[in-house]
Structures are given as structure tokens and as C-alpha cells.
Amino acid sequence: MKKEFDYLIVGAGLFGSVFANEARKKGKKCLLIDKRSHIGGNLYCENYEGIQIHKYGAHIFHTSNKKVWDYVNDLVSFNRYTNSPLAYYKGEIYNLPFNMNTFNKLWGVNTPAEAKARIEEQRARYSHIEEPANLEEQALKLCGDDIYRILIKGYTEKQWGRAATELPAFIIRRLPFRFTYDNNYFNDLYQGIPVGGYNKLLTALLEGCEVRTNTDYFSDRSYFDKLADKILFTGCIDEYFNYEFGALDYRSLRFEHEYLDIDNFQGNAVVNYNEREVPYTRIIEHKHFEFGTQPVTVITREYPKEFTKGDEPYYPVNDEKNSDTYRKYSEKAGQTPRVIFGGRLAQYAYFDMDDTVEAALKLTEQEL
């Protein structure tokens, strides 16, 4: 008996929406369900006085993949936003990523040769460390005292909720020093934010598709499983298999939004707060993503959070234990008929947005 839908897509985030868009073009009928009250997953924006608030943290689309860039630009227009975050430490502002502006502020050096010499001088103090035992030793070996103390230590400890001496060295494998006066955080060829916010991109992707929000797949999975010939599951893979091999670990975030009757709070979209004593890792001022001129502004303080059940999972913890656990789930997923697993949660991986679009397009080429 023919089912009502060709595909049930669990999760109306970017991965599921790209797949749904391509499936619709091929004449397939899709139903997307999402337990949240909105589409778009973590890309969702909320409008306040014409300001698009990135409700789940800053999202900047960047890629060197022209196919992906053309794909999203065919759906919506992107602005020229360039990600150039700042770092605040004890009353001083530093440019990120580590570049000549940063080195000039740290040491008063003006040329790349002077900056390289100062970094080598600081690194030399730790040349005796052959095998770094922890993140602190690794960072000191790579960059020396000043950069580590001002720009790495406190921020990283807040992110992970542990002292740098208790974190594994492999978290920092290399440090990207840029010996040019270039504050563009990314090296990609293309970069920007959809004009009018990410909701426009998601709405364009889902045109012609049936979407049900406030709908939890796990509330009645036997009912939902009967609705479609195949299922694309983009949620947490361990939850799908009822935590058979144990729960996977994540890092989570908490956001605190504040609406201010001033036109400009910090003059930049993203400012990192590097002091360990400051509880949040950064403040986002959303209007600057779209060069806003509104008389009001909205800021968001971003706090790292230990993940507990019920929290939004943001970042996988890719240590040996979790990698082994995911491998077991992945093997079982490969033996599960009618179900496709895709997206960052189902694949227990950190994906940038361009990675997500590319992976979803590849899946459609294989599947449709």
C-alpha cells in the first residue's frame, strides 16, 4: 500500500531542509517534523525592530565551494558581512584571528619579521617541553606566554569547564598565525549572511513541503514511521537507538538576550571575553551582522554549559570513548532498513553550514 509521503524528515534544520528541497524538485513528497516551535534548527532568527537575532549563537556562512555558494545564493541574497571578532582582556581590545594587528597591540611590533622574532623568543622559553602533557603545555610550546595568557587560557577554560592543565594537548594541534594586517577570521573565498536573516533561506528551501513544528518524533515513533516509505533522521543518533550503547557526550550553550534602548553597544558583531572570571565567553550584537542603523540594539551573552539530558546538544566531544561509542551506533545505523542518518547530530560531528549543505546535496545525488 502506497504511503502518504515518500520521505519523513525528522528535524527541520539545514540538512533536512536542503534534502527536502531537492526531493521536492524530483517530485517526491516530504513531511518534515521538528520538536521545536520553529523551522531552521540552530539557524533560526527572531525579528526585533528589524534586527535579526541569531537565537542560537552567531552563524556566518562561509565557504570556498562555489557549487554550495551558488546553491544558497540562488535561493536568497547574501550581504557582504565579514567575520572579524574582537577579544576583550582586562580593558584592552585585540583583533582576531592572530594577525599583525594583534601582534602590534601586544608588543608594538610593526613588521612580520619583528612579530615572528617575538613569537620565537617567547616559544624558546618552553623548548624543553618535548611531549606536552596537557593543553597549557601545548599552547605555551606553540606561542609562548603572552598570546596564551591573554588570548587562549581563560576563554578555553570557560569553553571546556576545566583548567587548561586538565585538558588534553590534542585540543590545540596548531595555532594559525597570520603575518598580514587582515582581520577576516575565515580564509574562504565566499562569506556573508542572508539579507533579512536565515529564516528567509530556510523558508525558501521548504517551499512546497509540509512542515509540522512542535512535533516530537519520539512521542509516537511507530505512528510516524508508518507515514513514509523512507525516513531521514537528523536528530541524535544515540536517542534513536534508545541509548543502547550509552549516551554520547556533548557540550552545550546557554544564551542570555538583552534588549537595549541604545543604538550601539560594542561596535562589532562578536566580542570574545577572555578573562576566566567573566562567566560568558562572548557577547554578540546582532544588528552588526546586517549593518543595522536601528535606534535600539540587542545583545546576547553566550555561556558554556555542561550538557545534561534535555539541553540542546551543540558540540560533540570527540575523545576516544565517544568515538568508540559512535562507531557502534554508526554500524547499527548501516543495518537499519528504510532509515537514512544525516546531519551533525546523527553523524556525531561538527559541521559548518557549508559542510552541511554539501553533505545534504551529496546524499540527494545518491538517494534521489
Active site (catalytic) residues: 174, 178, 251, 282, 302, 350, 352
CA distance 85 to 283: 10
In this structure, how many other beta carbons lie within 10 angstroms of the beta carbon of residue 327?
A: 12
Find out whether 54 and 284 touch, Cβ atoms under 8 Å. yes
Residue type, 335: Q
Find out whether 147 and 97 touch, Cβ atoms under 8 Å. no
CA distance 54 to 161: 24
b/e for 66-103, b at 16 or more Cβ within 10 A? eebbebbeebbebeebebbbbbbbeeeebbbbbbbbbb
CA distances from 359 to 40, 115, 234, 343, 354 (A): 17, 40, 12, 8, 8
Q: Identify which of 303, 298, 301 has the alpha carbon closest to the alpha carbon of residue 286.
A: 298
Q: Which residues pair with 211 in a beta bridge?
A: 32
The cell for 225 is: 514511521
CA atoms within 13 A on the CB side of 166: 6
